């Protein structure tokens, strides 16, 4: 089995810098590179618990065939949450099999905390939930 290095390392940041206080600054090779993401070195060293439960998502926009949902970061600017996992279920459907994966957002790469669920039928109702992860686990 061979490893495709381009694919293997494509999710890594363009660059990371660690300052003398242990703070990590992440920049990307894209339009967002002006904004660098800071991960607090002190907070990272003192991390002893899995993250707090994220607040419920909120509706950003609705069309006749889509819903845009958003959510707030739960790391309070420390950069300790690296991923968000969004699930959804359609309400009022008799063959509903529970929650289904919608998206995994790599917050460490500064992805937006928004997602658009497209191709839905009019008058459909949905319930969303979000999980988040730090180096110690998921909540």
Domains of the chain, residue spans: 5-138
Residue 101: its pLDDT value, please?
A: 92
Q: Which is more confident, 41 or 15?
A: 41
The domain 5-138: what is its CATH number? 2.60.40.10
Mean per-residue pLDDT for 78-100? 85
Which one-letter DSSP state was computed for residue 74? S
Q: What is the mean pLDDT of residues 90-111?
A: 81
pTM: 0.70
- Average confidence score pLDDT of the chain: 81
Residue 139 neighbours by CB under 8 Å, 6+ apart? 50, 51, 52, 53, 54, 131, 132, 133
Question: What is the tally of helices (H) and strands (E) in the chain?
Answer: 2, 10
Closest CA to 88 of 46, 59, 52, 53: 59
Residue 131 has pLDDT above 80, yes or no: yes
111: closest CA among 74, 84, 75? 84
Write down the residue that tokens 């600054």 correspond to. Answer: 25
Closest to 138 in 3D by CA, of 83, 78, 71, 56 = 83
């Amino acid at each position: 089995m061979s490893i495709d290095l381009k694919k293997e390392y494509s999710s890594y940041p363009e660059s990371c810098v660690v300052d003398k206080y242990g703070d990590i600054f992440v920049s990307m090779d894209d339009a967002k590179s002006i904004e660098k993401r800071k991960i607090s070195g002190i907070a990272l060293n003192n991390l002893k618990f899995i993250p707090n439960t994220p607040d419920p998502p909120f509706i950003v926009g609705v069309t006749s065939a889509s819903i845009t949902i958003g959510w707030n970061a739960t790391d309070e600017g420390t950069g300790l949450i690296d991923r968000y996992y969004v699930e959804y279920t359609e309400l009022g459907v008799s063959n509903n099999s529970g929650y289904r994966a919608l998206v995994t957002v790599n917050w460490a790469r500064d992805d937006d905390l928004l997602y658009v669920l497209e191709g839905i039928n009019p008058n459909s109702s949905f319930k969303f939930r979000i999980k988040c992860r730090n180096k110690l686990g998921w909540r």
